[in-house]
Each structure stands twice: as C-alpha cells, then as structure tokens.
Amino acid sequence: MNRHPHWCQKGHHCTTERHTTGEHASAPECWSTSFGRLVATRYQQADTGRTRLEIRVVVHLTGTEQRIQESARVAIATVYAALTHRAGTGATHDH
C-alpha cells in the first residue's frame, strides 16, 4: 500500500500506484486574475522524494502582431524576474 502525502489528489492525478517512478500530484490550484489565469500543481517523485511545482500562466494578449510579440516577451521576462528574485525558496536552475 502506497502512502500519499496529505496534499496528494490521488486518483488519476497520482501515478505512484501505476509506476514505480510515479509522482504524487496535488489538485491544481487555479487563480483567475485581471490578466489571465495561474494554475499551479505540486508533484513529488515517489522513489526520490524530489519535489517540483509546475505553474502554468495563461496571459491574454491583444493588439497588433508586434505588440503581441512584445507583450509575450515581457510576460516571460516578468515571470523569470519574479522567480529569480524571490527570497528563500530554494529554487534551482536546471538548464
């Protein structure tokens, strides 16, 4: 019997009972904002305990093609800057 962390959604979200290297997965947390949506899901590998957070950012883009391209780059840079400058989270770069 596999033990799930209290935050694991179990069911089809969690793959630890189907794969020896499966992952526990939380219920996605969804935030609706003025610019779009944020969806965050926590995962933890069953065999190593390595934990990661997957954050999906959905940003509405409008305007000319050039404006959309610029806004997309600004959105990516903003997410990068926010994650780079946050304090005490222990985030690492994998690339």
Binding site for Zn ion (CB under 5 A): 4, 8, 14, 16, 24
Shorter beta-carbon distance to Zn ion: residue 52 or 73: 52
CB of 41 to Zn ion, least distance (A): 12
As a whole number of angstroms, the distance between CA 25 and CA 11 comes to: 10
Q: Please list, residue by residue across 45-68, b when 16 or more beta carbons sit within 10 angstroms of its beta carbon and e when fewer do.
A: ebeeeeeeeeeebebeeeeeeeee
- Closer CB to Zn ion, 24 or 42, in the complex: 24
CA distance 35 to 7: 28
What minimum distance in Å lies between the beta carbon of 16 and Zn ion? 5
Query: What's the one-letter identity of residue 59?
Result: V
Minimal distance, residue 91 CB to Zn ion, in Å:
23
Based on CB atoms, which residue is closest to Zn ion, 11 or 88? 11
**What tokens were used for 21?**
């290297």
CB of 24 to Zn ion, least distance (A): 3
Nearer to Zn ion, 5 or 63 (CB): 5
